[in-house]
Structure 1
Amino acid sequence: MMMTGKAAAAQNAGSMERAGREPVPPSRRRMWRHMGPGIVVAATGVGAGDLVATLIAGSRFGYALLWAAVVGCIVKIALSEGSARYHLATGSTILAGWRSLGRWTSWYFGIYVVIWGFIYGATAMSATALPLTALFPVLPLRDWAMIAGVFGFLFVWFNRYETFETVMKLLVGLMFVIMVGLAILVSPSLPDLAGGMAFALPEGSLFYTLGLIGGVGGTITTAAYGYWTQAKGWRGLPWMPMMRFDNSAAYVITGIFVVAMLIVGAELLYSAGIALQDSDQGLLGLSDVLEERFGKTIATLFLVGFAATSISSLLGVWQGMSLFFSDWWYQLKGRGEGGHEGTGAYRFYLAWLTFPPMVLLFADRPFLLVIIYGAFGALFMPFLAITLLMLNNSERLPAEARNGVIANITLAGSAILFIVLAVQQVAKLAG
């Protein structure tokens, strides 16, 4: 029986793996078939908080901050590409690169990732529970939050990267179709949309604009991209074109998704003078607005897209940050690089993300923890941008893999942006 081209390619790939050989990078015409890690990092980076931030931007300023959402995606392309480029060019990991800059980098990351994981775990579970509670009100939000966390724990514990990537692609497809369809449904004004790229800065929007650039598309998860490229089997400089195509295409998808949500905010809320709550709960407010204007079916589809967005972010963090932590732990212990699935440290951090944060679900108003999370979390992004400037301009990388002029300008601009955001968040904590 004759096999299709796709089946033959799959069989050839499997034969290479069984023979112990590295997979061969695809030709440019076939790159789209091999996309994966970029979609994973983009889906992980866009969560409920990003939906709220973009919707609020549209509801308060119309299309004026569209350019900020686009710039935010460009910044994340540079950060995730720089991290993955270090992995491919050196055959090592970004954590090994940080250790080469001094042992303090390992302690900085270790303290950060433990605190971040504890607080983010509760945040991700709560965000995932919101649409589930609205769709299936048979259980209270706290119960759905715990179910979401345990689901993520079990899924990541028992599945490997291939299954994880497939599920993430399905979730991205679902959320993309629903949210872009919603943007088309509200009939955007194309001239106003084009005017949103004029780099205007409305009164009172400065720090909100910086936050939109810095937050949309992920924070620490951008540095996990290199681990997902390794899990995919991409190693060495020949995979550089594939990685860049994968990363750029994924963030183009993210950009379209973010623009779609800003359109919804501008057309549905700004024009009607409707203000949403500036928290994940605000998304439920949008559901009410959609039901009133378009009916129950559209409102339900939005909640499904909201759930897909939150679940993909939760699964991405549970899997990617566990890889990150395991690499940190085994390097700290002097046992080499250990960013692999199924290790003891990998499963420990998976449990750390899931069960201790459930304590926070019983706190009615953990505002101080949220502020600490924002302040402490803001300290990672300038660290990432600055260290990528140091590592990817060094002799550790072959000349052809080092930063170009555009990469250096983008990373330097990102570092300045994130330093400003960090000062803002720390000042908020001090206040």
Structure 2
Amino acid sequence: MTATPGSPPQPPAAAPPAESFPAPATRRGRLAVLGPGLVLAAASVGAGDMVTSLAGAAGYGMALLWAILIGVVLKYALTEAVGRLYLATGLTVIASLRSAARWLPYAFFAFVLVIGLLYGAALSSVASLALSTLFPALPVRPLALVIALASAGIVYVGRYALFERVMSGFMLAKFVGMVVLAVATLATMDDPSALVSSLRPRLPEGDVITVLALVGGVGGTAGVASYSYWVREKRWRHASWLPVMRADTAMSYTVTFLFVVCTSIVGTGLLYGSGRTITGNEGLAALAEPLGADMGSAARVLFLGTFFLVTLSALVGGFNALCYLLADSLRTLRAVPDDEAERHMGQRSLPFRLFVLYCAATSVAVTFAGKPVRLLLTYAAVGSLVLPLLSGALLVLLNRRGLQPPYRNKSLSNVLLSGSFALFGVLAVVQLKETLGGL
């Protein structure tokens, strides 16, 4: 099809990927093939969820669950739209964005380069802090260096099938660990009614960063944009896979929400009203020590071990997501045809591996900046800047008349994507003002 002068560029027709197959017809069969959603949950829970929910619970108890719920609902709508767009066109998210506006791949490429600069250093520093709190003899910064390089190594050598199994194992282990800690916290609280009374929603004055990190960080940012790559690896295509993809996405955000609720319970039970905080380098110890005093050394070890798994899985999954986005952005900017995509952006392609090395090198360079929790909160806030672009582009792409009805946005999708565009746009402006004001 030839575009008329002045009309927006249209996505090229894409042939189904090799070895695509129809979706299972039974519910049991559909459940058996789920996987990208667990990868997304494992990659996202940790980067913008655990630290920010603990920090929010320290100051406000359970009063910020509304922000977490809004974040989960909006991220579900965004992720479902990303997956639906791929099923409709067979094009990756970056290639599709180019058809909405030619400058979008440039913007995403620059933005993801910046995220890659902060992401590895922030999470490897927090992971090393968890281990060094558990084993004080371990030095924090050298340990962070080892963790970052090991995580990059897993992404560099791994294939998707192994990657999915590893990430699913991470998700199961840390979910069980946090549920056990939440139950133990409730069982040992002197006054459980304080937790219930703190459920009243609040909009904290003068603490926009915490709310921004909770809404923008819950469920991740790079993972949302990268969901189509993991769906592509599973060879899901065409309308028969829509129910499977939606179930997969729903499972991801259900697990994410339950995990963050459990984290908020732990933070409220141990930090709310105590005057302690986790916004400094001693924050983990400030939470681990009360856990040990109230519930014994086993709870302290479980918390620190769970926290380490949370940050490690987010680091491994984040590296994978960022490298997919970077390699695909470069491929799109070079106008490489979609039928050659695997050679230019697949996990075993040269660009993908070079970007893994980039993430590893920048992690090493930034690790010694210190203040790892502040870095993580900054990453979560900065990460919200990409969401208005993504949600706005999805509104355009999924409302085109040429799209087949099963893939086009329904009213609810348009409402949620419009809400994402407006809310994340406002939050991005607020964050820019806060950042510039602090200079």
Question: Is 1:420 the equivalent of 2:421?
Answer: no
CA offsets, 1:4-44, max 9 Å, x none?
xxxxxxxxxxxxxxxx6423312223322222101111221
Provide the C-alpha distance between the structure 1 equivalents of 2:196 and 2:65, rounded to a whole number of angstroms.
9
**Matched residue SS, 2:186:** coil
2:383 counterpart of 1:385: no
* Aligned twin of 2:232: 230
Q: Return 5+ residue gaps in structure 1 as ranges.
A: 1-19
Displacement of 1:318 after TM fit? Answer: 1.3
CA contact under 8 A between 1:77 and 1:251: conserved in structure 2?
Answer: yes
Q: Does 1:285 align with 2:291?
A: no
Q: Distance in 1 between matches of 2:213 and 2:428?
A: 10
Residue 407 of structure 2 is aligned to residue 405 of structure 1: no
* Cα contact 2:291–2:300 (8 A) shared by 1: yes
Offset of residue 275 of structure 1: 2.1
Q: CA deviation at 1:228?
A: 0.5
Equivalent position of 2:219 in the other structure: 217
Q: Deviations over 1:184-221 (max 9, x none)?
A: 11117887777777655466566643432221111232
The Cα of 1:429 is off from its aligned counterpart by: 2.2
What is aligned with 1:363? 369
Work out whether residues 287 and 303 of structure 1, in 8 Å CA contact, stay in contact via their aligned partners in 2: yes
Aligned to 1:60: 59
Match of 1:309 in 2: 310
CA contact (8 A) 1:75 1:414 kept: yes
TM-score, structure 2 length as denominator? 0.87
Distance 1:388 1:133, change over 3 A: same
Distance 1:113 1:227 in 2: 15
Q: Which runs of 5+ in 2 are unaligned?
A: 1-17
Give the distance between the partners of 2:432 and 2:195, measured in 1 at CA.
34
Match of 1:25 among 23, 26, 41: 23
- Say which is worse superposed, 30-39 or 131-140, in terms of deviation: 131-140
Match of 1:3 in 2: none
Cα 1:55/1:352, change in 2 over 3 Å: same
| CA 367–234 in structure 1, closer or farther in 2 if over 3 Å, else same | closer
Cα deviation 1:43-95 (Å, max 9, x = unaligned): 21111542121112222222222222122111111111111111111111111
Provide, for residues 277-297 of structure 1, a one-character-per-residue CA deviation record: whole Å limited to 9, x for no partner: 325752332111101111111
Q: Does the CA-based 8 Å contact 1:220-1:381 persist in structure 2?
A: no
Identity level (%): 36
> In the alignment, is the contact (CA less than 8 A) between 2:156 and 2:353 conserved in 1?
yes
Task: Identify the residue that residue 277 of structure 2 maps to in structure 1.
Answer: 276
- Secondary structure at the counterpart of residue 214 of structure 1: helix
> How many residue pairs end up in the alignment?
411
Say yes or no: does 1:74 pair with 2:73: yes
Which whole-Å CA distance do the structure 2 matches of 1:30 and 1:56 have between them?
40
**Aligned equivalent of 2:7:** none
* Equivalent pair of 2:279/2:373 in contact (CA under 8 Å): no
Amino acid corresponding to residue 331 of structure 1 in structure 2 = T
Opposite residue 384 of structure 1, the aligned amino acid is L
Task: Give the Cα separation in 1 of the matches to 2:77 and 2:407.
Answer: 14
Specify the alignment match of 1:108 in structure 2. 107
**Amino acid across the alignment from 1:162:** A
Q: Compute the displacement of 1:150 (Å).
A: 1.2
Distance 1:35 1:156, change over 3 A: same
Asked if the contact 2:127/2:311 (under 8 Å) is kept, the reply is: yes
Q: Amino acid of the residue matched to residue 323 of structure 2?
A: S
Moved more, 401-410 or 389-398: 389-398
Q: Give SS of 1:394's match.
A: coil
Which whole-Å CA distance do the structure 2 matches of 1:71 and 1:328 have between them? 29
- Structure 1 residues 417-426 or 28-37, which shifts more? 28-37
Say if 1:90 and 1:396, in contact at 8 Å, map to a contact too. Answer: no
Q: Which amino acid aligns with 1:45?
A: S
- 2:141–2:367 CA contact under 8 A, matched in 1: yes
CA deviation profile, 1:298-346 (whole Å, cap 9, x unmatched): 1001111001100110110111221121111112112124341111110
Seen in structure 2, the aligned counterparts of structure 1 residues 369 and 62 have a Cα distance that, compared at 3 Å, is closer
Please give the alpha-carbon distance, in whole angstroms, between the structure 1 residues aligned to 2:76 and 2:381.
23
175-184 vs 348-357, greater mean Cα deviation: 348-357
What's the counterpart of residue 329 of structure 2? 328
Contact 1:375 1:429 in 2 (8 A): no
Q: After TM superposition, give the deviation of residue 250 of structure 1 in Å.
A: 1.4
Structure 1 stretch displaced more, 277-286 or 26-35: 277-286
Q: Is the 8 A contact 1:52 1:282 kept in 2?
A: no
Distance 1:179 1:365 in 2: 24
Alpha-carbon distance in 1 for matches of 2:69, 2:378: 28
Question: Is the CA contact (8 Å cut-off) linking 2:148 and 2:363 kept in structure 1?
Answer: no
Tell me if structure 1 keeps the 8 A contact 2:126–2:372.
no
Letter of the 2:23 counterpart: P
Aligned counterparts of 2:183 and 2:376: Cα–Cα separation in 1: 34
Give the stretch that moved more between structures: 375-384 or 69-78: 375-384
Partners of 1:375 and 1:69 in 2: CA distance: 14
Distance 1:310 1:207, change over 3 A: closer
The whole-number CA distance in structure 2 between the counterparts of 1:24 and 1:298 is: 46
TM-score (ref. length: structure 1): 0.88
Q: Aligned pair in 2 of structure 1 residues 394, 279: CA closer, same or farther (>3 Å)?
A: farther
- Secondary structure, aligned partner of 1:319: helix
Give the direction of change, closer, same or farther, for the CA distance of 1:134–1:248 in structure 2 (3 Å limit).
Answer: same
Counterpart residue type for residue 353 of structure 2: R
